[in-house]
Amino acid sequence: MPELVKNELPIKSNVQKDEVISPWKEAWRSFRKNKLALVGTTIVLFFVFLAVFAPVIAPAGIDDKALVNRLKPPSSENWLGTDDFGRDILSRIIYGARISLWVGLLSVLGSAVVGSFLGILAGYYGRWIDTLISRVFDIMLAFPSILLAIAVVAVLGPSLQNALIAIAIINVPNFGRLIRSRVLSVKEEEYITAAKAVGMKDSRILLHHILPNSMAPIIVQGSLAIATAIIEAAALGFLGMGAQPPNPEWGKMLADSKQYLIQAPWTMIFPGLAVMLTVLGFNLMGDGLRDALDPKMKQ
C-alpha cells in the first residue's frame, strides 16, 4: 500500500497583531485630523516666526520717527501706514508680536507651575491643606480677573514686567483647581495604592506618577490661557499699566491711536487685527488639543 505523503503547509493567519500606539502619538494623529486646529497652529507659528525674525523682517525700527510721514495711509512704502509720529505700523506690529507672545508664554508658564504645585498639594494631602488652598483660590476667583490684575499692577507699578506678574497671579487659581480635581481622581487609582503599599515616598509618587498623568489638562488649559493672557496684556497696555513707550505693545498702540479712529482708522485696525488673529490661533489650537487629549471628547 503506497505511503500517503502529507504535505504540511504553513497556515497563514489573518489575525494581525494590534499595533501598540502611545497615548501621545494617538493624540497627535487626532490633532492632525482637526482642520481648524491646524489653521490655529499655522496662525500661531506665523506670529512666532514674526517674533523670532523681527529684526530681519521689519522694514524699520520700532521708534524710527518721521513727522513728515505722519498718519500716512497704507502704501507701497508703508504697507500698513504710519502712526501719529510717522512710525511704520507694520514694523511695530512685528516687534509687538515679541512682547505679546513673551508675556503670554511666560505668564502662563509661571501660573501653571505655581497653580499645579498648589493644586497637587491640595488634592493629594487634603484636609486643612486642601481647605486653605481652596479658600484662597475662591477668594481670588471672586474678583474679576482684569480688576485683580489692575490692582496688582497698581501696587507694583506700571511696567511690562509687573503686568506679566499680575497676569500670572490671576491665572493661578484656574490651573490650581483644574489640577486638584485631576489629582483627586488619579490618587484613587490602583497603581497609586500599590506605590504607597511598597513604601514609595510621597514626593516620588507626585513627580513620577500623579504629575505625568495630569499633564494633558495642563497642556490644554495652558494653550487656552495664553490667548487670555494676550488679551489681558493688551487691556493693561490700553489702560497705560502695561508696556511703556516706546515699546510697541499692541494694546498700547490701540490706546495711542484711539483719538485718530476717524482721521486714520488704520492706526487702530491693524493692531486690533493682530490681537484678534493671535488669540484666535491659540483658541483654535487649544480646542484641537482638548479634543485630542480628552478621552471624553473622542468618539
Per-residue burial over 30-61, b = 16 or more CB atoms within 10 Å of its CB, e = otherwise: bbeebeebeebbebbeebbebbeebeeebebe
Domains and CATH numbers, the chain: 33-297 (1.10.3720.10)
Which three three-digit cell numbers place residue 264?
A: 486714520
Q: What is the DSSP string of 20-78?
A: P--HHHHHHHHHHT-HHHHHHHHHHHHHHHHHHTHHHH-SS-TT---GGGTTPPS-SSS
Among the listed residues 142, 100, 140, 122, the one whose alpha carbon sits nearest the alpha carbon of residue 227: 100
Map residue 167 onto helix, strand or coil.
helix
- The C-alpha cell at 213 is 498623568
Q: Which helix (H) or strand (E) element contains residue 223?
A: helix 215-238
List all residues 6 or more positions away from 65 whose beta carbon is below 8 Å from its beta carbon.
Answer: 85, 86, 87
- Which residues share a beta bridge with 88? 82
pLDDT per residue, tens digit, the chain (299 aa), is 444 444 444 544 444 444 556 666 777 777 788 888 899 999 999 999 999 999 999 888 888 888 888 888 898 888 998 988 889 999 999 999 999 999 999 999 999 999 989 998 888 887 888 899 999 999 998 888 888 899 999 898 888 899 999 999 999 999 999 888 888 888 777 777 787 777 778 778 887 778 877 788 888 888 889 999 999 999 998 888 888 888 888 988 998 888 888 888 999 999 999 999 999 999 999 888 887 776 555 54
How far apart (Å, rounded) are the C-alpha atoms in residues 236 and 162? Answer: 10
Residue type, 36: L
CA distances for 252 relative to 68, 103, 220, 255, angstroms? 23, 14, 29, 5
> Which amino acid would we find at residue 31?
F
Kindly report the number of other CB atoms within 10 A of residue 226's CB atom: 27
Contacts of 205 (CB under 8 A, 6+ apart): 192, 195, 196
